């Protein structure tokens, strides 16, 4: 008599079965679905299945401080007010009335992401874009752009869980009021800036 052993690997959500490790083995026509402990007690060799995948479309909200695989946890969301009306109470904004960024935006970062990053873009002092994300690089400063239009992009980065909840302010020197005096001396032009 010839016995044919066929092993089948299935992806099973452990929370559905209430078991920590599931192995599915097919011996001829008999299916055995047992925990690793029961298989070992019966003298069978236990084959460990592939890592279990979640079968639901929703993943649980990561908890700051808990690092599955050692990854950083950051807020990840993007607001683009060029395409939609400004929403002062949007859960990604976390700016007005001491409101916080919603924990619904917390994600586990990739293995190469070592920073949580937040970037804001303003045109003539009006917020047009805000992005929170995981990153592996950061400018960590403000960059004025544009000719005749005050276009500013400010980035801030940090290295701890959920630290990119901040709203990046302009660099210190840009916030200080200044008084400039331009003197013309012959062919030379001298500009003096007085800072308080």
| CATH fold of the domain at 68-171 | CD59 (2.10.60)
pLDDT of residue 180: 36
Task: For tokens 């000719």, name the residue.
Answer: 147
Share of the chain above pLDDT 70, in %: 51
Sequence-ordered alpha helix ranges (H) in 88-147 = none
pLDDT category of residue 89 using cuts at 50, 70 and 90 = confident
- For residues 168 and 120, give the distance between their C-alpha atoms in angstroms, rounded to a whole number: 7
pLDDT recorded at residue 145: 82
pLDDT in tens, 112-127: 999 999 999 999 889 9
Average pLDDT of the segment spanning 98-103: 88
Kindly tell me if the per-residue pLDDT of 83 is higher than 50.
Answer: yes
Mean pLDDT for the stretch of residues 37-60: 42
> Among 42-56, 121-135, 179-193, which range has the highest average pLDDT?
121-135
Q: How far is Cα 55 from Cα 32, in angstroms, rounded to an integer?
A: 22
| C-alpha span between 45 and 12 (Å, rounded) | 20
User: Which pLDDT value is given to residue 38?
Assistant: 45
Which residues of the chain form CATH 2.10.60.10? 68-171
pTM of the model: 0.53
Mean pLDDT of 132-158: 90
């Amino acid at each position: 008599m010839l016995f044919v052993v066929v092993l089948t690997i299935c992806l099973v959500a452990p929370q559905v079965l209430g078991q920590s490790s599931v192995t599915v083995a097919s011996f001829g026509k008999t299916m055995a679905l047992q925990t690793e402990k029961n298989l070992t007690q019966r003298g069978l060799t236990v084959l460990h299945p592939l890592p279990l995948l979640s079968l639901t479309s929703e993943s649980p909200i990561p908890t700051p401080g808990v690092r599955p695989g050692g990854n950083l946890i950051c807020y990840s969301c993007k607001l683009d007010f060029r395409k939609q009306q400004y929403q002062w109470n949007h859960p990604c904004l976390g700016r007005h009335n001491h409101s916080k960024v919603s924990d619904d935006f917390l994600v586990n970062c990739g293995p190469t992401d070592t920073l949580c990053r937040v970037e804001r873009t303003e045109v003539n002092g009006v917020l047009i874009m805000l992005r929170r994300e995981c990153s592996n690089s950061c400018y960590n400063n403000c960059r004025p752009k544009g000719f005749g239009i005050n276009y500013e992009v400010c980035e801030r980065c940090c290295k701890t869980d959920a630290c990119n909840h901040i709203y990046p302010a302009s660099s210190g020197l840009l916030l200080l009021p200044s008084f400039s005096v331009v003197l013309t001396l012959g062919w030379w032009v001298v500009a003096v800036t007085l800072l308080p």
